[in-house]
Amino acid sequence: MKFKNWFLMFIIVFIVWILLNNSFQIDILIPGIIVAFLVSSLFCKRCNLFSEIILTPKAFVYTFIYLGVFFIELIKSNLDVARRVLTPSLPINPGIVEVKTTLKSKFGRMLLANSITLTPGTLTVEVIDDSFFIHWIDVKEDTVEAASKEIVKKFEKYLEVIYG
C-alpha cells in the first residue's frame, strides 16, 4: 500500500465525514477518524488514484488558485450562456474544435476534460492522446493553437504544477 495514496484517501473521506455531519465536536470527529482509517485501509490496498498528485506547498497553493480560476470561468460561462438564451438574436457559431494539451498525467487530463465540460458552452466530446475534441457553443478560433489558448491554457497552467 502506497502511503501517499492511503493518506490522501484518508483525508478525503475524513473531510466528507465532517461535511456530512456538519460538526467539529470530538464525539463526531473520533468516529470519523475511525471510519476514514477503515475505508482507506480497505479500499486503498492497490490504490494508485492519487499517485500522480505532486505533494508540495506550491502544488497545494496552485490547487486553490485553480479552484478560483475554475469558479470564475464557471460564472463567466454561465452568464454567457444565460445571455444567449435570453437574447435569441445573438449569433452563435457552434462547432467542434481540436485543442492540444501538454499535460502528461492521466488524472490531470481527466480533470482538464471535466473542467472544460463543466463550464457551460463547452463539452469535451473525445480525448485522443494529447488532443481534446470540444463542442463549443460559439467557435471564436478555428486553429488548434488559438482554440487551445482560448479553452485549455487557463486551466492547464495550474494543473501542470499540481499533476505534472
Residue 9 belongs to what domain range?
3-43
Residue at 77 is within a domain: yes
pLDDT bucket at 67, cuts 50 / 70 / 90: very high
When pLDDT is averaged across residues 83-94 and rounded to a whole number, the result is 86
Q: Are residues 67 and 37 in the same domain?
A: no
Residue at 128 is within a domain: yes
Q: What is the pTM of this model?
A: 0.74
Residue at 96 is within a domain: yes
Q: Are residues 86 and 36 in the same domain?
A: no
Residue at 51 is within a domain: no
What's the helix, strand, coil split of the chain in %, to 5? 60, 15, 25
Grid coordinates of 135? 463542442
Total number of domains constituting the chain: 2
Identity (one letter) of the amino acid at 95?
G
Q: Per-residue pLDDT for 85 more than 80?
A: yes
Q: Are residues 25 and 65 in the same domain?
A: no
Q: Are residues 64 and 121 in the same domain?
A: yes
Instruction: Give the pLDDT confidence of 20-65 residue by residue, as tens digits.
Output: 999 889 999 999 999 999 998 888 777 776 777 777 889 889 989 9
The residue that leads in pLDDT, 4 or 128, is 128
Residue at 131 is within a domain: yes
DSSP secondary structure string, 4-31? HHHHHHHHHHHHHHHHHHT---HHHHHH
Q: Are residues 35 and 94 in the same domain?
A: no
Q: Per-residue pLDDT for 100 more than 70?
A: yes
Instruction: Give the pLDDT confidence of 90-99 residue by residue, as tens digits.
Output: 878 899 999 9
Residue at 52 is within a domain: no
Q: Are residues 92 and 149 in the same domain?
A: yes
Instruction: Give the pLDDT confidence of 114-133 residue by residue, as tens digits.
Output: 999 988 888 999 999 889 99
Q: Are residues 14 and 79 in the same domain?
A: no
The neighbour count for residue 149, using CB atoms within 10 Å, is 14
